[in-house]
Amino acid sequence: MEHTINIEWDSVADLPAVAKQLLEACPTLRVFTLTGDLGAGKTTLTKAICSLLGYSGNVASPTYPVIAVYGLANGAEIIHMDCYRLKSEEEAEQIGIPYYLDSGAYCFIEWPGVIENLLPLNYASIEIFNTSATGRKLTLNKHIL
Q: Distance between CA 59 and CA 20 in Å, rounded?
A: 18
What does the pLDDT read at residue 91? 96
Cβ(67)–Cβ(79) under 8 Å? Answer: yes
What is the pLDDT confidence band of residue 88, given thresholds at 50, 70 and 90? very high
CA 131 to chain centroid, in Å, comes to 20
pLDDT at 2: 59
Which of the four pLDDT bands, split at 50, 70 and 90, describes residue 137?
A: very high
Q: Helix H segments across 1-145?
A: 15-25, 42-52, 89-94, 97-101
All domains in the chain, ordered by first residue: 6-140 (3.40.50.300)
Looking at residue 8, what DSSP letter applies? E
Residue 64 confidence (pLDDT) above 70: yes
Q: What is the pTM of this model?
A: 0.94
| Range 75-84 average pLDDT | 96
**Contact at 8 Å (CB) between 113 and 83?**
yes
Q: What is the mean pLDDT of residues 105-118?
A: 97
